[in-house]
Structure 1
Amino acid sequence: MHPQPPRRTTHAYGTPRNRLVYDRWGAFGRPVVLLHGLLYDRTMWWPVAADLALGNSCSVIAVDLPGHGQSATRGDYDLDALTQDLAVLIAGLDLHRAPVVVGHGESALLADAFAGAYATRAVLTFDEPVAELAETVEQHLAAADLGTIPAPYRQFAVVREDPTLLRAYRCWFSKPNPSRARPHQVSAARARSGFPHLRSPASFAATLRDLL
């Protein structure tokens, strides 16, 4: 028989004003925090998380960014404030180990900001924005190239076509690149572009296991 991954459970952290909703697989091991890009949600990580959680060597956490999925909208989407909220969420898991943080798209900025401020085992980012945030949803989608995702996995990359989200997160791009503040002892990697976590979830999970 093949081992079964831990069952996915859904949780919420924070107050109604800063609530973050996240899914969790596993209760032990090193935390692996999965952050989606703008206009998507945490469900894009389900295929990878189910594979990665096999063997109970880590606890996988997939978070909805504010205004995405089930996480609350905010009056202020400041990167530093969200980084702090993420740190408190991770600390509340009581795993007492530095996390591996994975950032898709614009969340690469959040992953780097976290590593620059808190103990972090490793950072993996991919599909990072080339320069500034797209002005329109159409431009954002054109750069995403969703056609590279195999048909069975396209259901996990459903776009929320809300231009107000792009405007709300534009403040992330007004600060210096936080990757410069990443401690030298934190290993960093760039995955292939074009939704590699959905093109081959098993291969992506294997990459993350190497970072544990």
Structure 2
Amino acid sequence: MHPQPPRRTTHAYGTPRNHLVYDRWGSFGRPVVLLHGLLYDRTMWWPVAADLALSSSCSVIAVDLPGHGQSAPRGDYDLDALTQDLAVLIAGLDLHRAPVVVGHAESALLADGFAASYATRAVLTFDEPVEEPSDCVDQHLAAADLGAIPDAYRQFAVARRDAGLLRAYRCWFSAKARPHRVSPTRPRSGFPHLRAPASFAATLRDLL
């Protein structure tokens, strides 16, 4: 009889000022931290996380950015402060291993900022923005290549139409982020984690 993969559990970290909600698969191994881009939420990672969780060598964490999903909005979306919150959240997992951090779109800045300040096994980023995001939701979404996502996975790429979030996160682009790419390997096509979740999960296993 084959062991069953770990089930997804939902958790909350922090106080009302820095509240973050995340899903977790597995309790052992190396942490793999999955970060979504602006206007989306942690559910975009469920197909990849479910596949990756079949491996007993990692514990998968998918986090809602502040103001997204179930994480509370903040008065200040400072990148350094959120990087520190993410580090405390990861330390609280008690896995005692440097994480693999994956950043989709704008969260590439958060992934790079984390790796610049904290021990990190590898960083994988993709769909990075080439410029500061527009305040126009339609323009922001038009830049996303959703057409190639199979119908079965399209439900995981539903954006929140909130121009206020785009404005709130503009501070990330005024900060002088220090690029720090532990792993230069990155997918190049739009939403590769939903176009081929099993293939994307295999890429992450190679980084463990």
Please report the TM-score for the alignment, with normalisation by the length of structure 2: 0.97
Alignment-derived partner of residue 190 in structure 2: 194
The answer to whether the aligner puts 1:70 opposite 2:70 as a matched pair is: yes
Alignment length, in residue pairs? 208
- What code does the residue aligned with 1:76 have? D
Contact 1:67 1:74 in 2 (8 A): yes
SS in 2 for 1:194: coil
Distance across 1 between alignment mates of 2:73 and 2:107: 16
Alignment partner, residue 59 of structure 1:
59
Structure 2 portions without partners, runs of 5+ = none
Q: CA deviation at 1:145?
A: 1.9
Task: Tell whether the 8 Å contact from 1:122 to 1:188 is kept in structure 2 after alignment.
Answer: no
Counterpart contact for 1:48–1:201, Cα < 8 Å: yes
Q: Distance in 2 between matches of 1:114 and 1:78?
A: 13
**1:208 matched to 2:204:** yes
Q: Is the 8 A contact 1:127 1:193 kept in 2?
A: yes
Residue 133 of structure 1: CA displacement?
1.2
Matched, 1:165 2:165: yes
My pick for the range that moved more, 141-150 or 91-100, is 141-150
Q: Encode CA deviations 1:108-133: one digit per residue, 9 max, x unaligned.
A: 00000000000000000001101111
Amino acid corresponding to residue 54 of structure 2 in structure 1: L
Deviation of the 1:146 alpha carbon: 1.3
1:87: which partner in 2?
87
* SS at 2:128 equivalent: coil
Q: Contact 1:3–1:55 (CA<8 Å) still a contact in 2?
A: no
Tell me the residue number matched to 1:41.
41
Q: Which residue of 2 aligns with 1:125?
A: 125
CA distances 1:79-99 after superposition (whole Å, capped 9, x unpaired): 000000000000000000000
Looking at structure 1, the residues matched to 146 and 112 of structure 2 have their Cα atoms a distance apart, in angstroms, of 25
Per the alignment, residue 13 of structure 1 pairs with 13
* Structure with a larger share of its residues in helix: 1
SS at match of 1:31: strand
Measured in 1, the distance between the counterparts of 2:71 and 2:22 equals 8
Q: Unaligned 5+ residue runs, structure 1?
A: none
Percent identity, aligned pairs only? 84
- 2:73 aligned counterpart, secondary structure: coil
Q: Is the 8 A contact 1:105 1:126 kept in 2?
A: yes
SS at match of 2:62: strand
DSSP 3-state at the match of 1:21: strand
Within-5 A mapping of 1:78-117: 78-117=78-117
Provide the TM-score with structure 1 as the length reference: 0.95
In 2, distance between residues paired with 1:3 and 1:207? Answer: 23
Give how far 1:3 is off.
5.0
Q: Deviations over 1:134-183 (max 9, x none)?
A: 2310111110121121110000011000000000000000022321xx27
